[in-house]
Amino acid sequence: MTQAVDFKPCLFHQHKIGKSFDTLLSVFLVPQFKRWARNITVLPSEKTMKRSKLLRHSFSLFAISILGTSVATELSSFPSNLSGRWNDPNSSASQSVSLSIDSASGTGKLTVWSSNPACTINGAPAAVTKDGNKITVVVSKEYSNPCRDNVSMVLNKKDGADEYEGEIRQNVPGYPILKVKLSP
């Protein structure tokens, strides 16, 4: 038993014998070439790529310098050292607190004293930011002691005074929030 196979002639065979080679190119190869050409991406020259990279780096350095200047300007209006006391919510315990601020780098050192020496935070490195009359201090995540970790402090400047009031928040079961008053 034989099976009939239907062969469809290709585009090349559809042309009559008398057609020129140019007609064949214009019918088959040119449209195919146009499809290939659409997929080709023109790469920029090496000189253009160097200029683009230089512009990106220049813009980045400019943005960093503006940001650094604005942070230093914001923090420079605040005293470089604040000290005072913290109280628990029941006002049954109280100890000293101090904060030193380096306005040039936006960093500081926080010290929170405790009656238990193992629980004292002594010079913990912190990021210091300012938003209007509000100072936010976030102690480095790497810092912890047996009693405290995840420590932050938010201070608000009292109107017409040099005093700051706020809260110390910490991961402590007994006193997760302490009230604090600081002054220069």
> What tokens appear for 109 in the block?
């050192």
pLDDT at 3: 53
pLDDT at 97: 95
pLDDT at 25: 52
pLDDT at 115: 86
Q: How many residues does the chain have?
A: 184
pLDDT at 19: 52
| The model's pTM | 0.57
Q: With H, G, I as helix, E, B as strand and everything else as coil, classify residue 39.
A: coil
In the chain, the domains with their CATH numbers are 77-183 (2.40.160)
pLDDT at 98: 94
Asked if 136 and 129 count as a contact pair (C-beta separation under 8 A), the reply is yes
What is the mean pLDDT for each group of 10 consecutive residues in the chain (184 residues)?
A: 50 49 56 59 63 64 59 61 89 89 89 88 91 90 84 90 90 83 91
